[in-house]
Amino acid sequence: MTLFAPRQIALATLIATLPASAMAESHGVTVSHGYTNFGELKYPADFTHLNYVNPDALKGGQLSLWAQGNFDSFNQYTRKGVPVANNEVMYEDLMIAFADDPYGYYCNLCSTVEYPEGLDWVVINLREDVTFSDGTPMTAEDLKFTIDLFLEQGITEFRNIIDGFFKSIEVTGTHQMRFEFNENAPLRDRMGLVGLWNPFSKKWFEETGARLDESASVPFMGTGPYVVGDVDMGRSITYAKNPDWWGKDLPINKGRFNFDEIRIEYFADSAAAFQAFTAGEYLFRIESSSKDWATGYNFPALEDGHVIQETLPDGNISAAAGFIFNLRRERWQNPRVREAVTQLFNFEWSNESLFYGLYQRPYSFWGNSDLAAVGVPEGDEAALLQGLVDDGLLDASILTDEAWLPPVNDAAKNNPSRSVLRNANRLLDGEGWVVGDDGLRRNAAGETLDLVIIQRSPLFDRIVNPFVENLRLAGINASLERIDTAQYVERRRRGDWDLTNQNPGQGFEPSLGLKQWFHSSTAEDSSRNLMALEDPAIDRLIDVVIDADSLEDMKTGTRALDRVLRAHGFWLPQWENTSHWVAYWDQYRHPDELPPLALGVIDFWWYDAEAAQALRDSGALR
């Protein structure tokens, strides 16, 4: 289950068949294979395959990937333990989105949904042929058990958000359930609240005594196309295609889930992983290092044509990669102090000297889309913000200032330009952080302005250390602490940091998920609102976006929210790549035209057995 994730496809979106019947309406009740809040669904009920797959893709072979660090759990639904990568391939949601339809929501484990115009209730008709990985049928009782499990043992931020939305959830047949909503349940999220669940086996949970809120040494039983194969705990895992997967012969799965195995090797850091890739220890790499992309891909296997290097289009909203401030700490609750720190990161020099000019700077939580705030607010957006100004929740400057953009530094040298450094010093001096004889800033209580950046990969040392130098130049007692994965996860959870990485980029139809990221109600305990953001203006705007009943109203509210989030200054944007950089040994293939919202490596790439044999015959691979 993806908790209110953006409606766009990840690597392992799992889609089953849709019914043959078209949308129908009887006595004011619509019966359909899917749902959209805006306009019409892109795909009719009787489509034969998704437009972006190769329906004739070959089946078989192994997809060989890597992950960083280690793992000690198969449960991604708790904050305890470090979950294994790509665990989601074992599960399927009731309803899902497609990679070329950002607003559509389609039946997956269901055949149809029934609902009245006001969405006071939804009946979901489950497919009768769905089975768990052990071959036992999935029924409405399993679904009801799963929902109750999440409502009782799910992570706090999730339960807090949906608390009180359901009036009742009832099993109304062996393969049917009825959801009734209270008035406070957001209209645009109601179908999502029906379709987001991925059913677990009630029998398996009762026999094993497993809990959703504890780390798990074995995976929960699901309905997905893959099951766990070989495991070397913390080092590697293989997911094996379930030969008895209930959905393997359905038309909707043509050209999808093509690999017999998905193997993931773990490495301590990206540098070690890259060297392993060049030696053929794993065979598919999504590159995240501009340095490696620009200078590392000159090894013999690539020069001999055994490895393919490709830049592929990415139509997603940007991930908004950045540092976030820990707002639990008093010194970072001051926006002028945060602004001073933000000015001291020199992206222009980093991009020129470290990133080979390959990156862009994120500027919005909805970058690469028409949901991003631009310029000075106008029209409905200005009117919306005016109300918050009138209520004393926002400064009037929000109406006259252009949407915040990251400061621009001198690309010729890492040290901030004279004007940037002077401005940062002015901000810090004005807030009572004064430079002492030792060059460090202290407040009236004699406390130094400490700033600890936590990282888990040495790959970022060359980027973060120059930033630390700039911070120290301004008198900030900054340091980089590189720690292992387990420490990194735990320290982020308990708030033991000043700056840490977070990618808070959003989706094309933002709604309830905004509360997990930015709402005051999730500030105390959240896997997404790590910065502990609490702001009544932001809370009000989130409600506006959630309650929007038209596409235009949603866009207006989102632009206003984006503007206020950026002006708040809890986010220090880093860098981003607006394409997919991939490299793979020449035995993998993809459709000629990829969909805009997914790279889809696990979902719809495939294995070329003849090419793989040619690599072995040449001695390139064992």
What was the pLDDT predicted at 412? 87
What was the pLDDT predicted at 6? 34
DSSP of 204-243? HHHHH---TTS--SSPPP--SSEEEEEEETTTEEEEEE-T
Instruction: Tell me the pLDDT band of 25, cut-offs 50, 70 and 90.
Output: low
Average pLDDT over residues 512-536: 93
Instruction: Tell me the pLDDT band of 70, cut-offs 50, 70 and 90.
Output: very high
Could you read off the pLDDT of 461-519 as tens digits, one per residue? 999 999 999 999 999 999 999 999 889 989 998 999 999 999 999 999 999 999 999 99
| Residue 290 φ then ψ, to 5° | -65, -35
What was the pLDDT predicted at 584? 98
Residue 4 pLDDT > 50, yes or no? no
Please give the C-alpha separations between residue 537 and each of 158, 393, 529, 534, in angstroms, as whole numbers.
22, 5, 16, 9
Q: Is residue 433 domain-resident?
A: yes
What was the pLDDT predicted at 64? 98
For 178, counting Cβ atoms within 10 Å of its Cβ (0-12 exposed, 13-18 middle, 19+ buried), the class is middle
Q: Is residue 271 domain-resident?
A: no
What was the pLDDT predicted at 353? 94
CATH for 406: 3.10.105.10
Cβ proximity of 114 and 29 under 8 Å: yes
Strand, coil or helix: what is 593?
coil
Distance CA 198, CA 242 (A): 17
Buried/exposed 459-485: b ≥16 CB within 10 Å, e otherwise:
bbeebbebbbebbbbbbbbbbbebeeb
Residue 381 pLDDT > 90, yes or no? yes
What was the pLDDT predicted at 416? 77
Q: Is residue 230 domain-resident?
A: no
Question: Per DSSP, what are the bridge partners of residue 169?
Answer: 179
Q: Is residue 509 domain-resident?
A: yes
Q: Using only the alpha carbons of the chain, give its radius of gyration.
A: 25
Residue 119 pLDDT > 60, yes or no? yes
Q: Is residue 529 domain-resident?
A: yes
What was the pLDDT predicted at 19? 31
Average pLDDT over residues 157-179: 94
Distance CA 360, CA 349 (A): 12
Instruction: Tell me the pLDDT band of 10, cut-offs 50, 70 and 90.
Output: very low
Of residues 356 and 20, the one with the higher pLDDT is 356
Helices 335-343 and 418-430 sit at what angle, rounded to 10 degrees?
160
Range of the domain at 402: 322-573
Of residues 142 and 2, the one with the higher pLDDT is 142
Calculate the CA dihedral of residues 86, 89, 94, 100 and round it to 10 degrees: 80
Of residues 27 and 294, the one with the higher pLDDT is 294
Residue 3 pLDDT > 60, yes or no? no
Q: Kindly state the DSSP code that residue 414 receives in the 8-state scheme.
A: S
Q: Is residue 205 domain-resident?
A: no
DSSP of 73-86? BS-TTSSSS-BPTT
Distance CA 570, CA 327 (A): 8
Residue 178 pLDDT > 90, yes or no? yes
Cβ proximity of 282 and 66 under 8 Å: yes
| First-residue to last-residue Cα distance in the chain | 38
Q: Is residue 342 domain-resident?
A: yes
What was the pLDDT predicted at 161? 85
Could you read off the pLDDT of 387-443 as tens digits, one per residue? 999 999 999 999 999 999 999 998 888 887 788 899 999 999 999 999 999 999 999
Could you read off the pLDDT of 541-599 as tens digits, one per residue? 999 999 999 999 999 999 999 999 999 999 999 999 999 999 999 999 999 999 999 99
What was the pLDDT predicted at 9? 29
What was the pLDDT predicted at 24? 54
Compute the mean pLDDT over every residue in the chain, rounded to the nearest whole number. Answer: 93
Q: Count of domains in the chain?
A: 1
Average pLDDT over residues 188-210: 97
Q: What share of the chain has pLDDT > 90, as a percent?
A: 86
DSSP of 520-547? GGGSSS-SS-TT----HHHHHHHHHHHH
Cβ proximity of 20 and 46 under 8 Å: yes
Average pLDDT over residues 177-183: 97
Dihedral sign for Cα 197, 203, 208, 209, please: positive
Residue 268 pLDDT > 80, yes or no? yes
Cβ proximity of 545 and 552 under 8 Å: no
Residue 2 pLDDT > 50, yes or no? no
What was the pLDDT predicted at 546? 95
Strand, coil or helix: what is 90?
helix
Q: What element of type H or E holds 181?
A: strand 176-181
Q: Give me the long-range contacts of 435-438 (CB less than 8 A, separation at least 24).
A: 435/475
Instruction: Tell me the pLDDT band of 14, cut-offs 50, 70 and 90.
Output: very low
Residue 222 pLDDT > 60, yes or no? yes
Of 284, 327, 364, 299, nearest in space to 586 by CA: 284
Q: Is residue 258 domain-resident?
A: no
Residue 7 pLDDT > 50, yes or no? no
Cβ proximity of 79 and 182 under 8 Å: no
What was the pLDDT predicted at 305? 97
